Structure 1
């Protein structure tokens, strides 16, 4: 069974979290990410919970920062 909080999608605007969603399946989280890229002028981050279960690791974001490769709608 999928861990329902394994993947997190966060939308931020002006450094404020506007919306957060969690999914157990990477395919679902990536579909939500791809559907949201370019909308609303917000920053979008897709992250995966680490093996300790206490923190998240960034998988991709839009728009990318200077240190990140572009990962739009993969």
Structure 2
């Protein structure tokens, strides 16, 4: 995946895969982690909840964590 602009550190590689690129070898990153990072860059806490039509909380990301290496922190 390529990300650029908006506060993303240029030229950053996060993690590593095996020699064939089939399996994660170091620092697995989930789609929720990428989403949490994007929310962070927009100033929205990734733990924010919004109510559904019945008032129940829906989390923007339940387990996503900001990828510090992508934002240079």
For CA contacts below 8 A with separation 6 or more, give which structure has more relative contact order.
2
The TM-score normalised by the length of structure 1 is 0.25
Highest Rg: 1 or 2? 2
As a proportion of its length, which structure holds more helix?
Answer: 2
The TM-score normalised by the length of structure 2 is 0.25
As a proportion of its length, which structure holds more strand?
Answer: 1
